[in-house]
Amino acid sequence: MANIIKIPADVVRSQLEAVFQAWGMPKENIATTVDVMVATDLSGVDSHGLGMLPGYHQRRGRGMIKDQPDIRVVRDKPAAALIDADRSLGHPPSVMAMKLAMEKARAMGVGIVSVRNSNHFGAAGYYSRMAAEAGIVGMAMTNAPTPAMVPTFGRDPVLGTNPIAFAAPAEKNPPFSLDMATTTVAVGKLNIARRLGKAIPNGWALNTDGEVETDGAAAFAARRLTPLGGDRERGSHKGYGLATMVEILCATLSGSWSDGPGPDGKPQRTKTNVGHFFLAIDPSKVRADGEFEADLDRMIDMLHATPPVDPENPVQVAGDPEVLATATRLVDGIPIADTLIEEVRKVAVESNAPFLLA
Amino acid sequence: MANIIKIPADVVRSQLEAVFQAWGMPKENIATTVDVMVATDLSGVDSHGLGMLPGYHQRRGRGMIKDQPDIRVVRDKPAAALIDADRSLGHPPSVMAMKLAMEKARAMGVGIVSVRNSNHFGAAGYYSRMAAEAGIVGMAMTNAPTPAMVPTFGRDPVLGTNPIAFAAPAEKNPPFSLDMATTTVAVGKLNIARRLGKAIPNGWALNTDGEVETDGAAAFAARRLTPLGGDRERGSHKGYGLATMVEILCATLSGSWSDGPGPDGKPQRTKTNVGHFFLAIDPSKVRADGEFEADLDRMIDMLHATPPVDPENPVQVAGDPEVLATATRLVDGIPIADTLIEEVRKVAVESNAPFLLA
């Protein structure tokens, strides 16, 4: 097992800045991308912050990510817009898109912005939380073009882990903030079980015949995740349906599903063409000022007051773990596996950037 | 067990019309409500069409439903609006709301309409499909104020079955059309198991201690449903999070969560104040005309082409079962349990309406 080393957020920030500068990314895009990635690491979502850097480095090496993209609004209606990300890393066009959706929401009541030709945008929850922190109800989704989810009754994976994030502002409480993959678990959980040589619960993954797989190593090798619900009897058709909804809003609506038939005549998908979807609602355009936030406080309080099965394990509300992790990590630093530190060193060396995590 | 009798859709329609006329509902509201209920029965969602009539009758008797409501738009912004349903049955204000959202979408790109002071609106999927059949991407949600879902780590139910419906238009294929409760199953499934004296799968329901319940009769008595996912290990916090999102969009945003603290000082909810949320997106404001529909056809075709585990059980796409049921039932009639026919007879007699299902 890897050793965990705690590194101050500022050092992680400097390391990311150094690499992105070496790549030749514009200053503004660096600032945005690093903000998103460090906030994600602080919030405890270790898989989607610094942990993505080696993957970004690899994809950049394969020409999938452009360092100096021309990100622009290609279609603009009063409450809807389409942004072409020009193969940028996903974070800058996504922050731009959510800001534009919020602006439209403030003027019209609601705004949506689609993004096409993008890449991995980090944690979806960053963008919905960004809206909520500015008093706006926000939703963020992305398709994840690597097939990982097996549809109900199917044998092979055809959709990604397609996450849904939703956040809403309260007054007294931190925002309600949900960020979830539409698969039962993420691939990362299979990898953890593999490393530990452990079995995984029935309902997480399938084998190549489409049957339940409970061996961690075999499940990681097969990479066939179940939709949320696990199996048909327990509602996996709902998780599969939600994943398809995300695919439609992110890929179909933005035009990220436009690659034409492949050599076999079947529809194909280009892995570099990731699409996102952002929705913003200004609650003050529906309710009187402050009413929404006060009512949401009462709902959050009611949920927290639910009698728990185990008093040591109280009922939580989406966003609670991230608020707690951020408070802790701002003081203690971000826990990073030494294996990841080694991978980041390689990225720095190969990018001719200083290595700062030592 | 009940006997099933097949009754032509027109007869079901006439029976509903007769009862609503006897109640003194305005002609236009009758037409709308009957359209929604009969389409729902035709589509195979037996729990949400005629099957709701005895419940509506009961609630009307308790003064929760107004026969001649003053349904009106109380707030109107370019892309967002709020409708007060004045305690109407949910169907007329919901059709009005989705139409208004679609109108806004056609003008602005996207539109949302919130509804407050409403009642049960039938099947959420009717409204999203209504949009899709007119070339618009639609979303419909409602809160369900009878507590039935137990939050992850909790012992008591605090949220309803809070459904999410989403539909999108294709060209060659019928619309993609998802309509799902955010609980693993609906209460109706526990009732079926109770009647048959059968056990239910692990992951559907809990007992009053918050532990897994597998006895059908005991589960129906306890009425404690799990959120989609079933348990924490299999992602029930995601189903719980989605249910809370629906509650926020339907109750908090519309002002259906505004009852003030109860006698015990805790927030309370009035069961008559149901809120809905409708979203409409005009895909031709984001993509060039026809591109969205053509791309969605390719996605639906790809999903259908997924190799199945069992060739007898092919991979389906959300909406397929409803299309098939509608085609069959238009010819064969709507299958109705004789126990429900008896309940409808009672409603007709008590309402001084003719009984037409005999």
pLDDT > 60? residue B267: no
b/e sequence B328-353, b meaning 16+ C-beta within 10 Å: ebeeebbebeeebbebbeebbeebeb
Give how far B75 is from chain A: nearest CA, Å: 7
In a domain, A196, yes or no: no
Residue A166 near residue A126, CB atoms below 8 Å: no
pLDDT (tens digit per residue) in A319-331: 999 999 999 999 9
The least confident of A246-260, B48-62, B105-119 is: A246-260
Whole-angstrom distance, CA of residue B185 vs CA of residue A155: 24
Plot region of A316 (φ>0 → left; ψ -120 to 50 → alpha; else → beta): beta
What's the pLDDT score for residue B263? 61
In a domain, B219, yes or no: no
Residues from chain B that touch A147, judged by Cβ atoms under 8 A, are none
Encoding tokens for residue B255?
A: 């002002």
pLDDT > 90? residue A193: no
Complex ipTM above 0.95?
A: yes
* B152 and B28 both lie in a single domain: no
pLDDT > 80? residue A295: yes
pLDDT (tens digit per residue) in B71-106: 999 999 999 999 999 999 999 999 999 999 999 999
Determine the Cα angle at A227 with ends A337 and B209, to 5°. Answer: 85
How many Cβ atoms sit within 10 Å of the Cβ of residue B73?
A: 14
Whole-angstrom distance, CA of residue B62 vs CA of residue A303: 29
Amino acid letter, B312: E
Residue B255 near residue B275, CB atoms below 8 Å: yes
* B179 and B34 both lie in a single domain: no
In a domain, A207, yes or no: no
Residue B305 near residue A266, CB atoms below 8 Å: yes
In a domain, A17, yes or no: yes
* Mean pLDDT estimate for chain A: 94
Residue at which a domain ends, from B264, B290, B316: B290
Sign of CA pseudo-dihedral A35, A38, A43, A45: positive
pLDDT > 80? residue B258: no
Q: What is the dihedral of CA A154, A159, A161, A162, to 10 degrees?
A: -130
Q: How close are the terminal C-alpha atoms of chain B, in Å?
A: 19
* A267 and A141 both lie in a single domain: yes
pLDDT > 80? residue A263: no
Among B73, B102, B112, B278, the residue to mutate for chain A (most A Cβ within 10 A)? B112
> Rounded to two decimals, what is the model's pTM?
0.97
Number of folded domains in chain A? 2
Whole-angstrom distance, CA of residue A46 vs CA of residue A37: 10
Do the chains contact at A307 and B155, CB–CB below 8 Å?
Answer: yes
pLDDT (tens digit per residue) in B296-344: 999 999 999 999 999 999 999 999 999 999 999 999 999 999 999 999 9
* Mean pLDDT estimate for chain B: 94
In a domain, A199, yes or no: no
The CATH number that applies at residue B334 is 1.10.1530.10
* A63 and A87 both lie in a single domain: no
What's the pLDDT score for residue A2? 74
pLDDT (tens digit per residue) in A49-82: 999 999 999 999 999 999 999 999 999 999 999 9
Give how far A326 is from chain B: nearest CA, Å: 20
Give how far B137 is from chain A: nearest CA, Å: 9
Q: Which residue has the tokens 């009862």?
A: B19
pLDDT (tens digit per residue) in A232-243: 999 999 999 999
The residue segments making up the domain with residue B9 are 1-68+305-358
pLDDT (tens digit per residue) in B120-175: 999 999 999 999 999 999 999 999 878 899 999 999 999 999 999 999 999 999 99
What's the pLDDT score for residue A195? 80
* B138 and B31 both lie in a single domain: no
Do the chains contact at A286 and B318, CB–CB below 8 Å?
Answer: no
* B83 and B48 both lie in a single domain: no
Do the chains contact at A317 and B244, CB–CB below 8 Å?
Answer: yes
In a domain, A313, yes or no: no
pLDDT (tens digit per residue) in A108-167: 999 999 999 999 999 999 999 999 999 999 999 999 878 899 999 999 999 999 999 999
Q: Which pLDDT band, with edges at 50, 70 and 90, does A268 fall under?
A: low
Whole-angstrom distance, CA of residue B225 vs CA of residue B185: 7
Mean pLDDT confidence for B229-256: 96
Residue B80 near residue A285, CB atoms below 8 Å: yes
Among B252, B270, B301, the residue to mutate for chain A (most A Cβ within 10 A)? B252
Q: Which pLDDT band, with edges at 50, 70 and 90, does B194 fall under?
A: confident
Nearest CB to B303 within list A75, A244, A282: A244
The CATH number that applies at residue B152 is 3.30.1370.60
Nearest CB to A151 within list B114, B287, B306: B306
pLDDT > 80? residue B2: no
